[in-house]
Amino acid sequence: MITSIELGDFLAHSDTKLKFENGVTVFVGDNGAGKSSIIDAITFALFGQHTRKSNKSLIKRGSNQGFAKIGFSINGKQYEAVRKIDNKGTLSAKFSEIINNDRVEIAAGERKQFGESMTQEVEKTIGLDFEKLKVASIVQQGELNAIINAKPKEFKELLNAIIGIDKLDVASESMKTVNKEFREKIRGKIGYDDTHIEILSRDLKRSQKEIQEAKPEKKQLEEKQRKIQNELDDLRKKIETESPKIDKINQLESRKKELSTYAKEAIYEIQHKINENERKIHDCEGCFEPAKLKEDLESKIKKVEGAIEDTLKKIHEFSSQTASLKEKQLLASKLQLKDNKCPVCDSNVEKLNPIFQEEHLKHEMTSVQKKIMSKEKERDMYNQKRKEFSEKLQKARDAEATLRAHSINNKEELIKIQEDVETKKKKILLTNNENFLELSQIDSHAKMIFENISKLEIETRGFNEQEFSSLKKLLNEKQMEFSQIDQQIGAISEKITKGEEQIKVIQDVISELKIVKKYVRNLDEIQTNIFSRDGPVATSLRSWALNTVSAKTSEYLTLLNTKIQRIALSEKTRDISISCYSKNESLELESLSGGEKVSVALALRLGMANLLGASNLNIMILDEPTTHLDAERKKSLVGVLSQLSEISNSETPMQFLIITHDAEIFEDSTVERIFKFESTEQGSKVTAL
C-alpha cells in the first residue's frame, strides 16, 4: 500500500505531505485544485511516467525544480521512491528501502547503458510496469460509468482493452507489417511477391504462346532463306562466269583508247618527223654544188691573196723609190752647175751624173708613179676577186654546215629522206579514218596493241552488258531480301531466346513465390487464428477471462453485501452479455437499482484488475467516478464506496483512493479519511477532514 506522498513544487503543489492507511481515502475539491496531480505524482515517482505534455511541465510555475516522493509498503517492507526534475530538463531519481529509519539505496537514475535502472527495480518490487498498473489499479474518468452504461458490444471492447485483448490488434498490425516487410524484401530480392503469381502465370502462358507461334514462323523464314540462298548461289555462279568479261570489256575499251591515243601521238610524231625531214630537204637542196666549190675557192683565194701580197710589195718598193727620187730631186736642185763648175769641188765638169739631173729624176719619178698606179689597180682587181671568191666560199661553207647540221653526206641520203617522207605521208593518209587495223600499221607497238584488242574482242564475243546489269541488280535484290529475312530470323531467334530465358526466370520466380505464398498463408493463418480479436485464440482468451472475471466479480459482490450473488459474463457473436443471479433467480441488469449497478460495475472493475494480477501495492484509484452520474447514482456510488472498507479488511486488504469534486456526497458517508484540496495563490492546499 502507499503510505505517504510528498510533493515539492510539483504541478500545483508547493509543499504537500499526505499520510495513508488501508481502506478508502477520498480526495475532494473543485476541478483544478490538484487532486489528479496525485496520480501523476505516484506514476512519476515510481516509473518516471505521467499524463502531462513534458517533464518540464511537472514543475510548478515560477520554480526551478520540483519533486515527487512516494512511500509504500510491500510484504512488511518499507520503500521510498523519489524523482526530481529541474527547469533544464535534468532528471534525478532514487529508490530506497527503509530499514530502522535508515534509507538503503536500491537504485538511482536511469543509466541503462551501465545496467542501472531505478524503474526496472521498482517494477520488480511492485510486480507491474506502468502500463499494467494503469489498467489494473487506475480507473480513469468515465471508465466506471462506461462499465455501468456500456452496451454489450461496447462492453466487449472495454473488456478487450482492460484484459489486453486489444493488444492483439497491435500484434495483428505487427503481423501485417511483418507480412508487408516480408513481401517488400521478396520484391527487393526477385522483383515480385506472392500477389504477382497470377500475373506472372499469365506472362508465362503468353511467353509460351509467343514461342509456340514464333518457332513455325522461324522455320518458314529459314526455308524461304534457304531457297533464296540457292538462287543467290546460281546468280553468283553466272556473275562469276560473266564478271571476267566485264573486266575484259573494260580492258578492250581501254586498249582501244590506248591505241587511239598512241596512234594520235605516233601520227603527231610522224608528222613532226615529216616536217623535220621536209625542212631538212628544203635546207639541203642546192647545198651540194656550192659545197663542192669550197676547196677550189679556198685555193683561188689563197692565190689571189698571194698576188695581192706581191702587188703590195711592189707598191711598197715603188713608194720607196719615189721617196728616194724625191730626196735626189732635192739634192739635184742644190747641185746645179754654174759655169760648168762643180758646186761641191768647184772643178770643171762638162755635165752632171744623170742621177743628179733634175730632169732625169723627174722623168724617173713619173715612171715610178705610173708603176705604182698600175700596181694599185692590180691590187684592187685582186681585192675584188678575193671578195667574190670569199662570198662564194662563205656560201660553200654555209652549204657544207647545213649538210653537216642535217647529217647529210651526199645527195643519195637526201633522196632517201624524201622517199621516207612520201611513205610516211601515205601512212598518215591511211590512218585518218580511225580504223584500228590501219592504225595497227603505224608501228610494231601499235600492232601489239591491236593484237590485244583482237584477242579481247574474241573473248568478249556474245557478252550482253544489259543482261549482266540485270543479273547484278537481281543479285542485289536477292541479297537484300536474304538480309531482311536474316534480320527477321535474328529478331525471332532473339525473341525465342529471351522468351525461353524469361520463361525460365518466371518459372523459377513462380516456384519461389509459391513457397513465399505458402509462408505468407501461414502468416495470415497466424494473424487470423492467433492475433485476430475474433480468432480462436482471442475467443479462448476471452472465454477464460470472462470465466475468471465472472468468478472474481461474484466474490467482490458477496463482500459488497448485495442481493446479487453471482455474475456470469458470456460472449456472443459480437457482444458480451452480463447475467446477474440472486440466490434464487436470474436478474436483468436493467432491473437493478442504481446502487446495485454501481456495485456490479465496481465489482467487475475489481475482477478485471485481479485478472491482470493485482500489484503488490494492492491499490485501486478511482478518478472522478461520479462524472456524468445523476444524483441518485452518485448517492448509490457513495453507498458502495462506504462498503469498500469491508473489502480492505478482507484476507487480501486493498487500498482505495477516490478522487472526486463532489464533496457533498460524502458528508453523511461512513468514509473517514477524506482530504480536501483547494486552489490558492501559493498552490494547492490539502486539508484532512
Containing structural domain, residue 64: 1-127+620-630+662-689
When pLDDT is cut at 50, 70 and 90, the band that residue 351 belongs to is low
Same domain, yes or no, for 305 and 263? Answer: no
Q: What proportions of the chain, in percent to the nearest 5, are helix, strand and coil?
A: 65, 15, 20
- Transcribe 127-171 into DSSP letters: S--HHHHHHHHEE-TTHHHHHHH--HHHHHHHHHHHHTTTHHHHH
- DSSP state at residue 75: T
Considering Cα of 600, then 602, then 604, then 606, what sign does the dihedral take?
A: negative
Confirm whether 685 is domain-assigned: yes
Structural domain contains residue 579: no
- Quick one: 225 and 242 in the same domain? yes
- pLDDT tens-digit readout, 301-331: 899 889 989 999 998 998 998 888 888 778 7
User: Is the confidence at residue 231, as pLDDT, over 70?
Assistant: yes
- 266 CB contacts (<8 Å, ≥6 apart)? 442, 443, 445, 446
Residue ending a domain, choose from 360, 386, 407: 407
As a whole number, the mean pLDDT across the chain is 83
**Greater model confidence, 525 or 575:** 525
Of the candidates 340, 336, 391, the residue with the CA atom closest to the CA atom of residue 359: 336
Which has the closest alpha carbon to 624: 53, 43, 33, 228?
33
Percent of the chain with pLDDT over 90: 24
**Rounded CA gap, 612 and 545, in Å?**
10
Task: List pLDDT tens digits, range 181-226.
Answer: 888 898 898 888 888 989 989 999 999 999 999 999 999 999 999 9
Residue 298 confidence (pLDDT) above 90: no
Q: Of 365, 388, 407, at which residue does a domain stop?
A: 407
What are the tens digits of pLDDT across the range 599-618? 787 788 777 777 655 567 77
Q: Report which of residues 562 and 105 the model is more confident about.
A: 105
| pLDDT value at 153 more than 80 | no
In the predicted structure, residue 687 carries a pLDDT above the cut 70:
yes
CATH label of the domain that carries residue 336: 1.10.287
Helix residue spans in 560-650 (DSSP H): 594-612, 631-642, 644-648
609 occurs within a structural domain: no
The pLDDT-based confidence of 352 (bands split at 50, 70, 90) is: low
> Largest alpha-carbon pair distance within the chain?
248
Q: Is residue 550 assigned to a domain?
A: no
Question: Measured between alpha carbons, how far apart are the two ends of the chain, in Å?
Answer: 21
Per-residue three-class SS string for 667-687: CCCCCCEEEEEEEECCEEEEE
Q: Indicate the Cα dihedral angle 332, 338, 342, 346, nearest 10°.
A: -140
State the pTM of this model. 0.48
CA distances from 169 to 135, 154, 255, 534, 544 (A): 17, 16, 104, 10, 19
Give residue 225's pLDDT.
92
Quickly state the pLDDT bin for 335 (edges 50, 70, 90).
low
pLDDT of residue 311: 92
Q: Indicate whether 330 and 436 sit together in one domain.
A: no
User: 46: domain CATH number?
Assistant: 3.40.50.300
Q: Taking a C-beta distance cutoff of 8 angstroms, is the pair 8, 63 a contact?
A: no
Query: What does residue 569 show for φ and ψ, rounded to 5 degrees?
Result: -100, 130
Distance CA 640, CA 656 (A): 12
Cell triple for residue 337?
Answer: 752647175
Kindly state whether residues 23 and 90 are assigned to the same domain: yes
Counted domains in the chain:
3
* 589 part of a folded domain: no
Instruction: Confirm whether 147 is domain-assigned.
Output: no
In a domain, 187, yes or no: no
Question: Residue 341's pLDDT is what?
Answer: 60
For residues 373 and 424, membership in a common domain is answered with: no
Q: Does the residue 574 lie in any domain?
A: no
Same domain, 75 and 216: no
Domain end (from 475, 504, 531): 531
